[in-house]
Amino acid sequence: MKSSRYQHLLLSLIVGSLLYQSAMAISSEPGGDFTLTDHLGEAWSLQNARGKVVLLVFGYTSCPDVCPTSLLTVQQVLGALGEQADSVQPLFVSVDPKRDTPAVMKNYLGYFHPSIIGLSGELSMLKNISQHYRTSFGYSGDTDSPSYVVDHSSSLYVINDQGELTNIIPYGTPADIIVDSVKRLLPPE
C-alpha cells in the first residue's frame, strides 16, 4: 500500500515537472520591462529607455572581478561609439540590495561612466526580473556578515530601442564585437 502511494506521488511529481517545463518552453521570449529604484533613489522603468539601445549588466558593487570588468567593457563600448553613445543607455542591476543602496551605487558607478544608471529593488523583484532574463544569482556565506559573496551570471544583455532583448553577449567578449552588435541597432551615422 505504501509503495503504491509513493509511486503515485513520484508519478505526480514527474508529470508536474514535465508540465512546468512545457509551460516554460511555450512562455514568452526572455526579457521584458521592469521597474526598480535607481541610484538617485527614484523609480526607474525600462520603458524610460525607449528610443535607446540598452546595455544591461546584472551584478553587485562588492564584486571583485566580473562586475568591474563588465562595466569597463561598457565604458569602452560607449567610448568607441562616440556621439552614437547618446543613443545607448547602460544599466547596472544590482542583485545585492542589502549592501547596494542608491548612494553606494552612485559612488561606485562614478568610476565607470556618467551615463550608467544603477538599479536595485526588493529581493523578490530582482528574482522575478532574473527569471524573465533567464539569468540567476545566489548568496554564498553568512549574509549577516559584510563579506558574503554573490554568485551571479555575467552576460551582457542588449535590448533594442523598442525594449526587446536582441542579444545575450557572454562575459569576456571583446568590446569591438559588442560595438558592432550595438551599431546594428542604431540609426546610421
Query: Could you report the per-residue pLDDT of 80-135, keeping only the tens digit for each?
Result: 999 999 999 999 999 999 999 999 999 999 999 999 999 999 999 999 999 999 99
The partner residues of 90 in beta bridges, in order of sequence, read: 55
Could you list the beta-strand ranges (E) of 34-76: 35-38, 43-45, 53-59
Tell me the domain boundaries of the chain: 1-30, 35-183
Residue 141's alpha-carbon distances to 26, 145, 150, 170, 188, in angstroms, are 36, 8, 9, 26, 48
Select 35-183's CATH number: 1.10.260.40, 3.40.30.10, 3.40.190.290, 3.90.850.10. Answer: 3.40.30.10
- Kindly report the pTM of this predicted structure: 0.84
Mean pLDDT of 137-154: 92
